[in-house]
Amino acid sequence: MQPSNLLVSAFGVLALIIAATWSWRWRWLPIVTADPPATKRVGDSIRTLAAALAAGLIAGAIVLGVIGRLVMRLAAALSEDVAEGRLTDAGEEVGQITAGGTIAFVVFIGLGGGIITAAAHLVLRRWLPQRAWAAGLVAATLLAGTIGIADPIDPANRDFAILDRIGLTLVLLLATAVLFGLTFMALAARFEATIHRSGPRRWMPAASLIVLAVPPVAFASFVYVAIRSLVPTAVLGWFESDSTIRVGRALIIAATVTCALLVVRATGSILG
């Protein structure tokens, strides 16, 4: 086995253990804490933003990035007899794991996917199930039924035409999506609880704000904080009222069922 393949496998297994531990340990934490006083809305918005970004960056790098790369390596290893040396849909040679390719995968797929998930979480979190494990399963289904069927489990993806044991590859891809959803929500809940308390650990998630150096992330973050801070309290109260939350949760349920059906249809088409 090539040294690069060995390193990817070793780090992938370690990342799997870490992500599974976090997901299990913090599975019962609530993903939304009590609302702060109106006079602290700016600070609370920034802290909530930092917690979500920290969860997205860490879960994205570890699960989507490192474990995702491991899944790619496993899929290639299972197909070496029929796919060795052929080019994937992304233009990569099957069986060749390079340091540059791995870093690019972790940055663009892992960190990029984590930031997108954090943004969606900030918008939808009050409509999601309030325990981390349940919210994680919903998030995984929504991601698989949108971004997932647009690329990794797209029936038109040429990778499925050159890989062997497609069924096992699909299981690994969907399991990665589930683990990402569970890990992200567990970390988001943990950081949400930590960052609103006093103590040295309170500022650990704040390191995630370094990504505000990226202009699109900075702009979206500014809009979020401005809305949370400047919108009249009565409007926020309506948005966070019980009746609005019930409607939002009904929409989330409908979207989750729809995404699950889309995933089933996509996997059926690939296997067929």
* Nearest of 180, 178, 168, 179 to residue 267 by alpha carbon: 168
Concatenated DSSP letters of 84-97? TT-B-TTSPBTT--
Q: What's the per-residue H, E or C state across 195-228?
A: HCCCCHHHHCHHHHHHHHHCHHHHHHHHHHHHHH
Distance CA 247, CA 252 (A): 9
Residue 31 belongs to a domain? no
* Nearest of 97, 98, 101, 121 to residue 109 by alpha carbon: 101
Cα 63–Cα 55–Cα 192 angle in degrees, nearest 5? 150
pLDDT in tens, 16-68: 999 999 999 999 999 987 555 555 678 888 889 999 999 999 999 999 999 99
Distance CA 132, CA 269 (A): 32
Domain total of the chain: 1
Distances (CA, A) of 114 to 52, 108, 118, 172, 211: 9, 10, 6, 19, 12
31, two tokens:
């993903």
Structural domain containing residue 167 = 3-26+36-271
Q: Is 109's pLDDT higher than 70?
A: yes
Residue 175 belongs to a domain? yes
Band (pLDDT 50/70/90 cuts) for residue 74 is confident
SS3 label, residue 160: helix
State pTM to two decimals. Answer: 0.91
pLDDT in tens, 147-164: 998 888 888 877 777 777
Residue 201 belongs to a domain? yes
